[in-house]
Amino acid sequence: MTTTTPGTLLRSSLELPNVASVYRGKVRDVYHLKDGRTILVASDRISAFDVVLPRGIPHKGQVLSQLSWYMLQATAHIAPNWAMSSPDPNVVIGKTATTVRVEMVVRGYLAGHAWRQYKAGERVLCGAQMPNGLKENDQFPQPLITPSTKAEEGHDEDITPDQILEQGLCTPAEWDTMASYALALFAEGTRLAKAQGLILVDTKYEFGRTVPGTNGMPGGQIILIDEIHTPDSSRYFYAEGYEERQERNEPQKQLSKEFVREWLIANHFMGKEGQQVPEMDDAFVQSVTDRYVELYERITGERFVPANTEDVNARIQGALTQYLK
């Protein structure tokens, strides 16, 4: 059961012309238009362990949308992407593409899921070899690609490149293209983060195939879709003090959604059957907003300017009505 927090958008309800279909993901609402454009609306929903949590987070959708737009523009020279315009702080409009049902997870450090597997004795994750002798949050010798399936419902699952090809999720040529783009994007994301005193620890990229005859593009071209380098898709450490904390075996200071997962774990929830989502009080909700805003300002070097949240859906409706005229 979701609970409305004042000033949040939990579900968009937009009246738009020429809509072919509407899809609602865990945190975003996607409107596909008949002219080959897709409108992606970032809501204030928040998910963890593939479960949408009961309260919205004020300004979260704006942070995700504006940070993703910023990063898509900053990396367009690295890999072609879907984004065309951002007429509202919660909205990105771009080229429609059919999703490749694989998430390209790139890991530069032994953290999160990789660390949990490593601690359990695993040394191969999704076909990628992890060296012996590492401790939590150590840097890998080189970034690893550890893909997962992109589930329409429920949990994403680890998968190897060989299994991806065996299941026909993509062709060998498409895999090579996605892997090349993912590593190049991670390198650029690492560079951008370093310039702001941050370390890009791990992230995920999603790719799609262009639809023939739309927006002047040939069909079947692999392009980057969705958001990139946001706190929902990425983990960041503060660069200052990283080495010292590693030497002292202390937790790293980080900007990511991992603290939400840690809070849930501490309150006995990991998305498993029969577990109850703990109550999110106002102080915790505010702390999540503060983290998201801090990451936006740190990674962009720009001050976050909150949009009017009196009626977020009406604001978005007005902006799109004007844009689509």
- Give per-residue pLDDT as tens, 132-144: 999 999 999 999 9
CATH number at residue 72: 3.30.470.20
Residue 68, both tokens: 């993703």
- Give per-residue pLDDT as tens, 169-210: 999 999 999 999 999 999 999 999 999 999 999 999 999 999
pLDDT of residue 1: 42
- The list of the chain residues with pLDDT below 70 reads 1-4, 151-155, 213-218
Question: Which distant-in-sequence residues (6+ apart) come within 8 Å of 284 by Cβ?
Answer: 263
- Domain membership of residue 153 (yes or no) is yes
Domain count of the chain?
1
The length of the chain is 325
Q: At 149, which amino acid appears?
A: T
- Domain membership of residue 168 (yes or no) is yes
Residue 89, both tokens: 């702080």
The mean pLDDT value of the chain amounts to 92
How far apart are alpha carbons 161 and 147 in whole angstroms? Answer: 7
| Cβ 11 vs Cβ 44: under 8 Å | no
- Domain membership of residue 13 (yes or no) is no
Domain containing 229 equals 19-323
pLDDT of residue 217: 59
- Domain membership of residue 203 (yes or no) is yes
- Domain membership of residue 127 (yes or no) is yes
Nearest-10 Cα torsion for 285, 291, 292, 298? 170
Question: Which distant-in-sequence residues (6+ apart) come within 8 Å of 192 by Cβ?
Answer: 71, 74, 200, 229, 299
pLDDT of residue 2: 47
pLDDT of residue 215: 56
CA distances for 111 relative to 229, 286, 292, 314, angstroms:
16, 26, 20, 40
